[in-house]
Amino acid sequence: MKTPVFTGANVAIVTPLTQDGIDFESLGNLIEFQINGGIDSITICGTTGESSTLSHEEHCEAIEYCVKKVAGRVPVIAGTGSNDTAYALELSKCAESAGVDGLLMATPYYNKTTQRGLVAHYNYLADRLNTPIILYNVPSRTGLSFTADTYFELSKHPLINGVKEASGNFSLMAETMALCGDNLNMWCGNDDQTVPMLALGAKGVISVFANVLPGVMSKICKLFFEGKVKESNELALKHFDLMDRLFIEVNPIPVKAALKLMGMDSGILRLPLYEISDSNLAILKKSMQDVGIPLAE
């Protein structure tokens, strides 16, 4: 049995960017907002953190800053995946030296690989690291998905702790859980599927929505774990529209806009990401108001 890196709600936190780099003061404020709001864990430099356009120095600095700012209050996961195995190792070693609790690694994208290649890629990394690894399956972005048999092979490595599943393929998730049991933890990677994935046995969620309402996402998980499934589901359904609207354009465009509507500095978007359209901003704003989020003047 592998102890999960975290249970409950983890926020895939945004990275506040300026024209010159990372706004660490604003990042610190967002981290405090998350912890004060009841989040159970934080992922820094994930997809929502615009990791794909951070320089190596920015990436490492953001991880180091987050670990120091959090100061052990909740587990910190660092996004360190790459389509270059050697670079994924370099980035992961940087995160390890910063003291993270886990490493989140998406499947190789664009060049992709075979299932045998996935086993070789992750085992190569796990053999050279000392920090628990969370696989990340997000075929909508990478064009590549794990199979249940590949999950089973990777679950044999003691350092491969689990997977963030964002494929939306419940048959794959169920087959994986049947094959791997307690040797591979699973976390939900799609906010709107959190409760059904918890019902399958997921340990929690790595969430975009939690950027805006950390306490709500944490409560959805806590209620479920307490056996209050109906209440958990009702809370999730109450916020379903907002979870959906936060993907009205490519993530993290809407969530950065939502934070600004709440009066928090989420920074600029780095090209090729571009600011949300006026029409979609109005839709997002209404959805936020519908669940009672107070908006800045």
Whether 136 is catalytic is yes
Cβ atoms of residues 70 and 78 within 8 Å = no
Phi/psi at 203 (nearest 5 deg)?
Answer: -90, 0
Non-local CB neighbours of 99 within 8 Å, separated by 6+ positions:
67, 76
CA nearest neighbour of 192 among 153, 157, 159, 166: 166
CA nearest neighbour of 47 among 232, 223, 197, 256: 256
Alpha carbon distance 164, 187 (integer Å): 5
Annotated catalytic residue: which of 136, 203, 219, 256?
A: 136
The stretches of 73-143 forming alpha helices (DSSP H) are 85-98, 115-127, 139-142
Non-local CB neighbours of 287 within 8 Å, separated by 6+ positions:
241, 242, 245
Annotated catalytic residue: which of 69, 122, 151, 164?
A: 164
Whether 151 is catalytic is no
Which residues are identified as catalytic?
136, 164
